[in-house]
Chain A
Amino acid sequence: GESVGLHLPTLSVQEGDNSIINCAYSNSASDYFIWYKQESGKGPQFIIDIRSNMDKRQGQRVTVLLNKTVKHLSLQIAATQPGDSAVYFCAESGNAGNMLTFGGGTRLMVKP
């Protein structure tokens, strides 16, 4: 069945550097994607989303890139800060309903 997965389980970056977190999806019918951030002991929080009719979307210090040809999604965090340390995961939706399918997560560790 359809699945959403992540390439790297752990990513360690130096404070101030840019971070890139990747996600692969297999459902070619997916038309909507979200990145979530989950801090320790908390529930996931929305970061940024993108629809399939776009290939790039920018937020505050974050950018999501979508490559539909290879079914790949990435989250770029500029000038990574210690507060960015968390687990990040992508989610996709491939229908008109309200359902999301979540990936397994990547842990981002920011070294001071």
Chain B
Amino acid sequence: DAGITQSPRHKVTETGTPVTLRCHQTENHRYMYWYRQDPGHGLRLIHYSYGVKDTDKGEVSDGYSVSRSKTEDFLLTLESATSSQTSVYFCAISPGDRRGYTFGSGTRLTVV
């Protein structure tokens, strides 16, 4: 997706290990979001950021932390991965308009 990249695209990790997913944008958008997508649940908001060092929790934030030290990067960290965190994670960016969400291609995380 133009202007937004997620890394890695795929990752397999063991239970109890820390994992960091990266979202990078080149659009200079103010807002950045992390979602997880699971069958039957659609996209659920984990955390979001409304500026550098300004973040807030979403509906499924337990077990996750985020950081945004630069406008272009939004990191999602699983401090100690659990099998329930196996999911596809999507990052989205927005200039502040509800219409203007742009999503990354996703990171498929498997916790074994």
Spot the interface stretch: B11-19, B67-75, B76-84, B90-98.
Answer: B90-98
Contacts of B44 in A (CB 8 A): 102
Given the known A-B contacts A32-B98, A100-B98, are A43 and B1 also in contact in the complex, defined by CB atoms under 8 Å? Answer: yes
Contact with B along A71-108 (1 / 0, CB 8 A): 00000000000000000010101000011101111000
CB-based contact A102/B99 at 8 Å: no
Q: Would you call B45 an interface residue if the criterion is a C-beta within 8 Å of the partner chain's C-beta atoms?
A: yes
Whole-angstrom CA separation of A7 from B33 in the bound complex: 27
- Which one of A4, A34, A98, A103 lies within 8 Å of B31 (CB-CB)? A98
Q: Would you call B34 an interface residue if the criterion is a C-beta within 8 Å of the partner chain's C-beta atoms?
A: no
Contacts of A49 in B (CB 8 A): 99
Residues of A33-68 contacting chain B, CB below 8 A:
34, 41-46, 49
B positions within 8 Å CB-CB of A: 1, 31, 35, 40-45, 48, 50, 90, 92, 94, 96-99, 101, 103-106
A positions within 8 Å CB-CB of B: 4, 32, 34, 41-46, 49, 89, 91, 93, 98-100, 102-105
29 A–B contacts, CB within 8 A, in A order: A4-B42, A34-B99, A41-B105, A42-B105, A42-B106, A43-B90, A43-B92, A43-B103, A43-B104, A43-B106, A44-B90, A44-B103, A45-B103, A46-B99, A46-B101, A49-B99, A89-B42, A89-B43, A98-B50, A98-B94, A98-B96, A98-B97, A99-B48, A100-B101, A102-B43, A102-B44, A103-B42, A104-B40, A104-B42
